Structure 1
């Protein structure tokens, strides 16, 4: 288990989210990997970069080749990163989908942490990202096209 706090995680997440794909890939030493299988500008990569910035040693498949995170390994699949967090950080709160994603958004409003929408399509599926207290509705709308089977939430102090 490792110690995460919301302020540090959110700052790192937003820093990487602000970069377009080309800038992000250049920063990570992946300029030659644009378009390569597995290398993406998605929530799993952005969440991985924020975790690495907070000192969390990840074991993802994507090796970072340049910049301050050089040598670190990022995940490219939300389901796989969510499983990794569940085992190595803490057991997440599981939110029921019985009443649909609008009810999940209502339950998450005002809360902060990491949210994962687990999809049944294997380790690359799903959606994971930063829940900042105001974006629950937007994240649930984005997750709707993924047809999530489960919602996991890790609150960050």
Structure 2
């Protein structure tokens, strides 16, 4: 079974509802979401059209949750859950990162950085072409801006959402 995880990451101090699966590691908060890669890829691709994250959110608010679950998937979350999190907790600095592999071979890697409510266009990775052409120095810089100077993707608890959920509620 391969890795498949979407994670919302911020360094803003938050007191999250205990029902929200989350981990605080070295002053960085990780909130995994059960969203498949194609759904998050669409969200991140749309971010290219906007400068301000609120405009991106307004675009997605036209949809109902069922509209955002692609190909009959059984995801627990949609991007509307990410939008609600950001707005409820007034988060203005974050990254969204998705990683998946099969048998140790990378399949998908998507990334979006938002700082001071501005979409960092040079951070965006939403498909194989942008993945192969991306300047990873930018992505590493945005990770560092949040204090993320370690490989979170390699941690067992972030293998899949269900693994993260079990780990969280076991703590």
- Bin of the TM-score, shorter chain as denominator length: 0.3 to 0.5
The two structures have a TM-score, normalised by structure 1, of: 0.33
Question: As a proportion of its length, which structure holds more strand?
Answer: 2
**Larger RCO, structures 1/2 (Cα 8 Å, 6+ apart):** 2
Q: TM-score if structure 2 supplies the norm length?
A: 0.31
